[in-house]
Amino acid sequence: MSLKPRYVNFQETWAKLKETIADVVALQAIERSVWNSRFSDVYALCVAHPEPLANELYDETKKFLEEHVSGLLERVKGSSELESTDYNDGLLHRYVTAWREYSQGLTYLNSLYSYLNLQHVKRLKLSDADMIYGSAAVTSCVDQGPRHLEIGELGLMIWETVLIVPLAEAMTLRIVSALNSARDSNPDPTTADILRTAIQSTVEVQSYNVRKPMSLYQQLVVEPFLAAASAHHSRRAAELLNARDVSYFMKYVLDGLEREISLGNKFLHSSSSEAVWTCYEQACVAAHLPALHAEVERLLKEACEDSPNASERREDLKRMYALLKPLGQNALRPLIEAAHAQAAKEGLALLAAEHSKDDAHTHFVHSMLSLHNKYKKLFAEVFGGAQAFIGALDKACSEVVNSRAEGESTARAPELLSRYCDTLLRRKGSERDADDKLSAAIVVFKYIDDKDVFQKHYARALARRLIHQLSASMEQEEAMINRLKAACGYEFTNKLHRMFTDVAVSSDLNAKFQQYLRENNLATNTGFFIQVLQAGAWPLGGAMAPLAPPAQLEKPARLFESFYRASFSGRRLAWLHHLCTGELRTRYTQRLYHINATTPQCALLLMFENTDAVRAREARETLELPEEAWSRHVRPLVEAGLLIAKGDLEGNDEETELLLNLNFTCKRTKIRLTCAAAPANQGGNGPGGAGASSESTHCDDDRKMYLQAAVVRIMKQRKILRHTELIQEVVAQARGSFAPSVAMIKKCIEALIDKQYLERSPGNLDTYSYLA
């Protein structure tokens, strides 16, 4: 056969062709030779001489297909009642049979016409890009030209317009009712298959439509289905909620959600699964939010108690979270708030529980830790450790930690926690245990607002431990400081590190001193150990009691001073006698006692060398002790029974005498005499009162300096800044060590304006500018 264009008789050729395509769309068998010659016929028509007959062929084919589909429509309709919702009346079945046959036939037809499609239609067709980004001129491409579709696509379009449109309502009714009943009971496989194919056909039939590929499916299936589903779910949910309690409701709703999703996956196109899900959530959960929220508090409370159905309640909460989560923050908020309130309430109750006063610090830290662990576990189990709930727990913990008892101006947490650490670090015991406990203490530490107060308490306790060598292990001390550093940064532990360095330097210094003594043939007569500390780094209280040390002690002190002066130029040493300790051995008693006492106490005891009674006033003058320090040092001696006071110790009574107790006995051979704390330097066992208030003013001053420095830093960088922004930035900077009050920041800003670091911008009162 020749490929050359030639004259073709259209009527004749079309008659032959029509016969064949009628067979093709009806899926009748066609011989290979017939197929081949029809294929050539299509070609011949398209390239016919003198005029190509492609347009006529296209139009005739269209007409034929329209007629064919109208025939199918009658077949599908059959005798069924169009308004019926009975999906088993055969209409869907007939539709699906016809669709299968037609769509299959259409693909064959499309290949028979492939020359026409390729050469003729393509020229008329718009590219995909034109369709998507097309200019306004080609908006409705479907109606644009009469012959722009390939034959296969044309067939689909005809199916839609000729067959589906008249049947649309009938199909929708049946599909929706079929889906509804499929929800409750699994349909048998054939029905399911029919249903699926029918729904699928609404998608496929528009596959040529690039612009709105699924509008028919949406309109025919999804929208009516969702409307029906939503009505159904709302009704069901309302019934359930009325009939049973919330626990049952949630369980049912969650199961239903699963069923609904699988229903969607089974029958609907994958693009609509989200819509199905949202519709369900809206109807079942969103509509009943108040009812769910009303139960939140009770469920949480019961889940937290040690009641037998706590685990059940936890399951309930888990379900509730699963239901509320997809609805977003607003739906979850009451749950989060209730979680927060519950944790905070329990925390406060724990703290308020009965405990002995001496154990306040242990009680506090252990309560906090048990609270934190319990809720962390609970929230992880129930809410999958979601960020919002962790946040709520954090908020609750920090509220509890920083809560103040009535009548207290500041929270006690910093003091209690530092005492807890102090106890642990002093105790000699299993190291691992203490390590774990200290790590856990960091958890509590992170919640403390007044970290600067904690730092002061901790620094003082550390100083005591280092000077009196009370630490159980230096590794532990250092590990703890590193933990604090990790939590709060370098600035925070700066001073603590300096104290550590001093201790290390001091032990070097002692070794060098001993060497110096050997080289110069000198001796101190007594054991001698010294700690040289850097002034300013240690929280020791400024007051340095002047004291004339006893002759026995003066010698090593002078030796060391001269050694120190030779080793380091330009440094002055100052003795802190209230911290120096001497170890004495008694010889006047029956048993031998080792007494550990402060220097003034040693000096006092040494006074009894030649006598058994000393006048208090004379002793005080010899020791050059001020009145207040005197009673602090003497009292422990009297209380321990080493000395007997005759008369009033405090007053300036001329007659008061101190007698050496020659019959002194004690169960222990080692006696440790402490020195009551100086008022300016609140000790560990000192009660609150005056010490605490001076402490808080001290802290306030530090905070003011910190805030002023922060303000200047920020302003130096920003030059001009609005008031609110400045406050925000300052708060952000200070958060690491304390929570500043806005009033305090304002005062600091005022002070800086007075000092001419800042000024209010002229004409703009809420803006500050930096003065270089």
Partner 1 sequence: MKVTIKSWTGVATWRWIANDDNCGICRMPFDSCCPDCKLPGDDCPLVWGACSHCFHIHCIVKWLHSQPQQQCPMCRQDWKFNNK
Which stretches of the chain bind partner 1, using CB under 8 A?
A: 467, 494, 497-498, 501, 505, 525-538, 540, 552-553, 556-557, 560, 564, 568-576, 579-588, 594, 599, 602, 605-606, 608-609, 660
Residue number with CB closer to partner 1 (582 or 740) = 582
Residue number with CB closer to partner 1 (310 or 505) = 505
Residue number with CB closer to partner 1 (222 or 533) = 533
Cα atoms in the Cβ-side hemisphere of radius 13 Å centred on 524: 21
Q: Which residues of 264-286 are buried (b: 16+ CB within 10 A; e: fewer)?
A: beebbbeebbebbeebbbebbbb
Amino acid at 11: Q
The minimum distance between CB 311 and partner 1, in angstroms, equals 54
The minimum distance between CB 638 and partner 1, in angstroms, equals 17
Give the whole-angstrom CA distance, residue 552 versus residue 536: 30
The minimum distance between CB 611 and partner 1, in angstroms, equals 10
Phi first, then psi, for residue 770 (nearest 5°) are -85, 135
Nearest Cα residue to 459 out of 483, 490, 434, 494: 494
Residue number with CB closer to partner 1 (105 or 556) = 556
Residue number with CB closer to partner 1 (565 or 746) = 565
Q: How many CB atoms lie within 10 A of CB 531?
A: 18
The minimum distance between CB 606 and partner 1, in angstroms, equals 6
The minimum distance between CB 556 and partner 1, in angstroms, equals 6
The minimum distance between CB 620 and partner 1, in angstroms, equals 19
The minimum distance between CB 591 and partner 1, in angstroms, equals 14
CB-based contacts of 18, cutoff 8 Å, min separation 6: 60, 64
The minimum distance between CB 641 and partner 1, in angstroms, equals 15
Give the whole-angstrom CA distance, residue 316 versus residue 320: 6
Nearest Cα residue to 670 out of 582, 597, 593: 593
Residue number with CB closer to partner 1 (19 or 583) = 583
With tokens 């390590």, the residue in question is: 435
CB-based contacts of 310, cutoff 8 Å, min separation 6: 302, 303, 304
The minimum distance between CB 667 and partner 1, in angstroms, equals 20
Query: What is the β-pairing status of strands 767-770 and 758-760?
Result: antiparallel
Residue number with CB closer to partner 1 (348 or 676) = 676
Output the 3-class SS for 477-524: HHHHHHHHHHHHCHHHHHHHHHHHHHHHHHHHHHHHHHHHHHHCCCCC
Nearest Cα residue to 709 out of 677, 684, 736, 734: 734
The minimum distance between CB 474 and partner 1, in angstroms, equals 17
Nearest Cα residue to 443 out of 371, 500, 503: 371
Residue number with CB closer to partner 1 (389 or 500) = 500
Residue number with CB closer to partner 1 (2 or 756) = 756
Residue number with CB closer to partner 1 (350 or 544) = 544
* Cis peptide bond N-terminal to 213, omega within 30: no
Residue number with CB closer to partner 1 (564 or 770) = 564
The minimum distance between CB 531 and partner 1, in angstroms, equals 5
The minimum distance between CB 581 and partner 1, in angstroms, equals 5
Phi first, then psi, for residue 769 (nearest 5°) are -130, 155
Residue 661 sits at the vertex; the CA angle it makes with 657 and 662, to the nearest 5 degrees, is 130
H-helix or E-strand containing 328?
none
Give the whole-angstrom CA distance, residue 698 versus residue 682: 12
Residue number with CB closer to partner 1 (497 or 718) = 497
Q: Which residues of 49-58 are buried (b: 16+ CB within 10 A; e: fewer)?
A: eeebbbeebb
Nearest Cα residue to 615 out of 659, 651, 663: 659
First CA to last CA across the chain, in angstroms?
98
- Which DSSP state fits 26? T
